[in-house]
């Protein structure tokens, strides 16, 4: 047993206060070290190897944190927080991790010198609050049609212009109103396939095949019906089916079902999508009528298809409605066809459709996965920029915020000032890592940048990672989405406070042990 652990009972170990902080800080620092080398335009890749020898090579912080093998509870807390950042914003997990680790390391340093944890946390809260206000005040609104959104997508796409261009094209097809809606995620519009040609589709891809190979491979300008359950007749229980009246009822329901399918054919329906299976009778009738049908769609696909085509989902019982009533449930699209090589169905919208899919092609599974991750990062960053605005990238806004925090620190009273120092030190860390990954001296370059911003009175100056010179990030087209920065700061502060508050670690007894 290590020297900092005390045995308090047969089943319980307790870490002493400072040892608990040190242990947690060390675990968080290890996570941060795993992703620090990936940040910035010159960031390198990380190779992740599982127990079977399967390899993932990536510089995506979210992927590294998601797949990294750790059993430490503090590290798991940070991973969950970074995952929340990825799910909500779609980018910024590496920045979140680096900021959180720096806040915790600085906080532990002050606590070890005798500063009360509560005072450190108080100062961190004040420093982060002022930083958030400062960053928000420097934000500039952008439209989906502005050139700046391509720059944002290009940075998030690790400089891959093809992917950035496709993401921007998709965003413009979808429209700004949809991009700003709370429930929409542009990253969900990105799919990848081995052997595919990269392209933007004005519609959606269903990872399904035709219900029958005898159905047409394509239908043009079809009326669309979406059935939100199985397309099959009601079933009579086996006991009832054995009786004469039960069998007669079964025959009547079968005939009614046939009549309902014929009704759809007479209405000119060309594409049918169902949430569950399709009865062989309906399948045969649709084959004869030249209808393309797809079955067993997810609820998400059903919702997207309804939004694309304007169709209203209907239950099986609703097919008994009159033809005039059924017309109100039908939608329309430009084309539906099966790509037999890639084994999926493409639904192309009409000229008014506000939907797009970014199809990313690749030669192998490993390349496909990484290109998809890159494209989804670009999509998340672009959407965040349109929704929240942009700030100067390349670490410029962090250094400007650092100067602001240092100014308010002078007016801080009591030991809370040490917590403000933690925020100032943490804000240096992301630009320092960016500079270090470019092969430059972070101490020299960051300090020079602080002076340059002060002398110029500008929050836009940063380090050009190609030349090592100080440059205007806005003029160079280097932007970050405001929401990514704000959310990363909030998340880092929350996880840092949670870790710093842990005074004691108690190993729980197993549930099967006696109390």
Reading the chain (515 residues) residue by residue, the pLDDT tens digits are: 343 444 444 444 444 557 778 888 888 888 888 888 888 888 887 887 877 777 777 777 777 887 788 878 888 888 888 788 777 777 778 899 999 999 999 999 999 888 999 999 999 999 999 999 999 999 999 999 999 999 999 999 988 999 999 999 999 999 999 999 888 899 999 999 888 899 999 999 999 999 999 999 999 999 999 999 999 887 766 666 667 777 677 788 889 999 999 999 999 999 999 999 999 999 999 999 999 999 999 999 999 999 999 999 999 889 999 999 999 999 999 999 999 888 999 999 877 778 899 999 988 877 888 899 899 999 999 999 999 999 999 899 999 999 999 998 877 778 989 999 999 999 999 999 999 999 999 999 999 999 999 999 999 999 999 899 999 999 999 999 999 999 999 999 999 999 998 876 666 666 655 54
Contact 78, 72 (CB under 8 A): no
Residues 6+ apart with CB under 8 A from 184: 174, 178, 383
In this structure, the answer to whether residues 330 and 218 fall within a common structural domain is yes
CATH of residue 30: 1.10.560.10
CB atoms near residue 174 (< 10 Å): 20
In this structure, the answer to whether residues 36 and 131 fall within a common structural domain is yes
In this structure, the answer to whether residues 409 and 301 fall within a common structural domain is no
CB atoms near residue 117 (< 10 Å): 19
Q: Which of 388, 406, 436 finishes a domain?
A: 388
In the three-class reduction of DSSP (H, G, I as helix; E, B as strand; rest coil), residue 514 is classed as coil
Strand partners, 272: 225, 293
pLDDT score, position 3: 39
CB atoms near residue 271 (< 10 Å): 27
Question: Does 230 reside within a domain?
Answer: yes
pLDDT score, position 362: 86
pLDDT score, position 423: 96
CB atoms near residue 22 (< 10 Å): 16
Contact 186, 164 (CB under 8 A): no
pLDDT score, position 121: 94
In the three-class reduction of DSSP (H, G, I as helix; E, B as strand; rest coil), residue 494 is classed as helix
In this structure, the answer to whether residues 211 and 339 fall within a common structural domain is yes
Phi, psi dihedral angles at 47 (to 5 degrees):
-100, 125
Contact 167, 385 (CB under 8 A): no
In this structure, the answer to whether residues 430 and 491 fall within a common structural domain is yes
pLDDT score, position 390: 96
Question: Does 275 reside within a domain?
Answer: yes
pLDDT score, position 15: 44
* Spatial CA neighbour of 155 closest among 146, 143, 167: 167
Question: Does 220 reside within a domain?
Answer: yes
Query: d(Cα 60, Cα 292) in Å, to the nearest integer?
Result: 40
CATH of residue 187: 3.30.260
Strands 218-220, 203-206: pairing is: unpaired
Alpha carbon separation from 509 to 14, 75, 357, 379 (Å, rounded) = 12, 21, 50, 46
Question: Does 227 reside within a domain?
Answer: yes
* Spatial CA neighbour of 458 closest among 448, 447, 449, 469: 449
- The number of distinct structural domains making up the chain is 3
pLDDT score, position 508: 66
In this structure, the answer to whether residues 331 and 427 fall within a common structural domain is no
Q: Which of 369, 388, 407 finishes a domain?
A: 388
Domain with 372 in it: 147-202+359-388
In this structure, the answer to whether residues 38 and 120 fall within a common structural domain is yes
Question: Does 512 reside within a domain?
Answer: no
In this structure, the answer to whether residues 61 and 29 fall within a common structural domain is yes
CATH of residue 282: 3.50.7.10
Residues 6+ apart with CB under 8 A from 59: 38, 43, 44, 45, 46, 158
In this structure, the answer to whether residues 396 and 435 fall within a common structural domain is yes
In this structure, the answer to whether residues 295 and 347 fall within a common structural domain is yes
In this structure, the answer to whether residues 344 and 373 fall within a common structural domain is no
Query: d(Cα 312, Cα 286) in Å, to the nearest integer?
Result: 20
With both helix axes pointing from N to C terminus, report the angle between 482-500 and 73-88 in degrees, rounded to the nearest 10.
160
Strand partners, 226: 273
In this structure, the answer to whether residues 316 and 422 fall within a common structural domain is no
Question: Does 514 reside within a domain?
Answer: no
Question: Does 510 reside within a domain?
Answer: no
Residues 6+ apart with CB under 8 A from 329: 225, 226, 311, 312, 313, 314, 318
Contact 305, 348 (CB under 8 A): no
* Spatial CA neighbour of 6 closest among 513, 504, 510: 504
Question: Does 508 reside within a domain?
Answer: no
Burial of 507 (0-12, 13-18, 19+ CB in 10 A): exposed
């Amino acid at each position: 047993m290590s020297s900092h652990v005390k045995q308090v009972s047969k089943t319980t170990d307790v870490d002493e206060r400072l040892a608990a902080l040190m242990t947690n800080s060390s675990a968080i620092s290890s996570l941060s070290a795993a992703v620090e080398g990936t940040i910035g335009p010159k960031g390198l890749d990380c190779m992740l190897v599982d127990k079977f020898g399967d390899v993932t090579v990536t510089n995506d912080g979210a992927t590294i944190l998601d797949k990294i093998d750790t059993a430490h509870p503090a590290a798991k807390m940070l991973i969950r927080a970074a995952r929340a950042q990825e799910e909500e914003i779609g980018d910024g997990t590496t920045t979140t991790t680096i900021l959180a680790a720096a806040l915790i390391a600085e906080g532990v340093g002050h606590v070890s010198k005798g500063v009360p944890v509560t005072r450190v946390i108080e100062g961190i809260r004040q420093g982060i609050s002022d930083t958030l206000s400062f960053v928000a005040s420097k934000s500039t609104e952008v439209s989906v049609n502005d050139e700046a959104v391509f720059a944002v997508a290009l940075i998030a796409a690790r400089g891959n212009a093809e992917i950035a261009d496709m993401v921007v094209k998709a965003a413009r097809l979808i429209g700004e109103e949809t991009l700003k809606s709370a429930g929409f995620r542009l990253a969900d519009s990105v799919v990848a396939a081995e052997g595919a040609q990269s392209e933007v589709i004005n519609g959606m891809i269903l990872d399904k095949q035709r219900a029958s190979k005898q159905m047409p491979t394509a239908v043009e300008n079809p009326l669309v019906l979406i059935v939100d359950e199985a397309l099959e007749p009601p079933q009579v229980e086996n006991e009832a089916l054995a009786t004469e009246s039960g069998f007669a009822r079964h025959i009547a329901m079968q005939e009614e079902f046939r009549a309902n399918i014929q009704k759809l054919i007479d209405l000119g329906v060309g594409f049918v999508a169902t949430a569950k299976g399709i009865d062989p009778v309906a399948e045969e009738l649709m084959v004869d009528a030249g209808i393309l049908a797809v079955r067993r769609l997810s609820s998400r696909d059903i919702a997207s298809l309804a939004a694309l085509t304007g169709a209203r989902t209907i239950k099986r019982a609703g097919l008994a409605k009159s033809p005039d009533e059924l017309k109100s449930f039908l939608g329309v699209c430009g084309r539906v066809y099966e790509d037999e090589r890639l084994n999926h169905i493409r639904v192309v919208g009409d000229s008014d459709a506000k939907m797009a899919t970014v199809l990313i092609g690749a030669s192998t599974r490993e390349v496909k996965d990484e290109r998809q991750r890159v494209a989804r990062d670009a999509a998340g960053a672009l959407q965040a920029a349109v929704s929240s605005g942009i700030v100067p990238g390349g670490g410029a806004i962090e250094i400007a915020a650092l100067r602001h925090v240092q100014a308010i620190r002078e007016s801080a009273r009591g030991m809370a000032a040490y917590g403000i120092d933690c925020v100032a030190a943490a804000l240096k860390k992301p630009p320092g890592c960016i500079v270090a990954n470019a092969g430059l001296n972070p101490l020299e370059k960051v300090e020079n940048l602080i002076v340059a911003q002060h002398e110029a009175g500008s929050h836009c100056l940063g380090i050009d990672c190609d030349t090592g010179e100080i440059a205007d990030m806005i003029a160079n087209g280097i932007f970050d989405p405001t929401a990514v920065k704000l959310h990363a700061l909030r998340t880092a502060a929350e996880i840092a406070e949670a870790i710093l508050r842990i005074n004691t670690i108690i190993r729980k007894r197993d549930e099967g042990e006696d109390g």
